[in-house]
A and B are shown apart, each in its own frame.
Chain A
């Protein structure tokens, strides 16, 4: 189906929002909706136009089991009783995320500054889980070859990533400089992050590393926005 015609787009968007389409037509329309921003705009406009109608419905309290089911479904790994959602340490991390990052930065700022010039040397980073203060991830940085170097990551123990989230690795340059993204990582036990040459020298002089939870695709702002789960200081070897 082609949607070059604005009148057609608008007509279909209106029928979709009103809800008169058949199952088949809905599925086809939703398929096009995913790839067509003009169509999405037309739908949003109709949602906005008809929204006041829904306001009239008197509220009905849903039974408690609905929320219970939702929680169970969103728990990574499914059914465990004392999981993620009830875990207090998670809440602590989540609500104080930005505070923790600030704290991490302060700690690194307070550390003695490395002597300049910095050599391209070996270093290791042991990143602690900020909720438990136990080691959760290590990174090792080797003096390198030309054309970019690699940071070897090891995730210690079992780690879960929530749906539609990403883990983003940050370099903490120290001083009053902002964290710099080193890219997204996975929960795999061992992995390698390619560091472009422009960042390699900075990483040589970095004070620490941190990992934050970001929306799928990574931080939309270029700075950590989600909870910081792991952080650690760079140890030159």
Chain B
């Protein structure tokens, strides 16, 4: 499949509206336009290609089934679709597993520092411009790191604590205060 140029939000909104009317060709185009970006989100959180494929599949079935619920006045189409992919990926990570949890968990933890680009790099890249960038700078280093680790890897409080080698309570507080500060700052900028 050739990767088309990144489409405008307006075009994606239009495609979603047509999906709501059960237009399957619009759905195919939507997939073509957005799947690579969304697959990256799923790969990042699940950290396994085969799992990410399942997550992407699940997410697009959701997108098709709930397209009528998309409201372009409330969120940009990529924001809406990314949220669906993230939620499916988080459900996948948190799904009940009978065995291998420890082993898998070890692997998961071990894989994090080697991932490239790392969360700090991603944070830097995503924040080269924009309001979120300005506001992220108001967080302490620990707050920033815990928020971005959680966002990009879908780590729970317990996993974050392990990853950062700090007590769960400490990590929870970093996240809580980090998010508070972020919200306050963004609202101050009118968001």
Contacts and interface: CB of A to CB of B under 8 A. Distances in A.
Interface of A: 10-11, 14-15, 17-23, 26, 44, 47-67, 69-70, 73-74, 84-85, 90-91, 94-95, 162-165, 213-216, 220, 225-227
Interface string B80-107: 1011001000110011100000000000
Contacts of A65: 53
Is chain B's binding surface mostly helix, strand, loop or mixed? helix
Contact of A73 (B57, B66, B90, B125): B57
A225 B21 contact: yes
A26 B90 contact: yes
Nearest to B127: A52
A91 B22 CA distance: 11
B157 A20 contact: yes
Given A51-B76, A57-B41, A227-B22, A19 B151 contact: yes
B79 A51 contact: yes
B24 to A, nearest CB: 6
B94 A227 contact: no
Contact of A53 (B39, B91, B132): B132
B151 A18 contact: yes
A129 B155 CA distance: 52
Given A51-B82, A70-B60, A19 B154 contact: yes
Q: Which of A19, A65, A84, A90 has the most CB of B within 10 A?
A: A19
Q: How large is the interface on B (under 10, 10 to 19, 20 to 34, 35 or more residues)?
A: 35 or more
B137 interface: no
Contacts of B186: 49
Interface of B: 1, 3, 20-25, 28, 31, 35-37, 39-41, 43-45, 52-53, 56-57, 60-61, 64-66, 68, 74-76, 78-80, 82-83, 86, 90-91, 94-96, 117, 122-123, 125-127, 130, 132-133, 147-148, 150-152, 154-158, 160, 175-176, 179, 182-183, 186, 191
Given A10-B183, A64-B1, A227-B22, A19 B86 contact: yes
A62 B53 contact: yes
A74 B61 contact: yes
B22 A66 contact: no
A49 B182 contact: yes
Contacts of A11: 176
Given A47-B79, A47-B83, A60 B39 contact: yes
A53 B25 contact: no
A67 B30 CA distance: 11
Nearest to B43: A60
Closest 4 CB pairs of A and B: A56-B126, A23-B94, A59-B36, A62-B39
B75 A215 contact: no
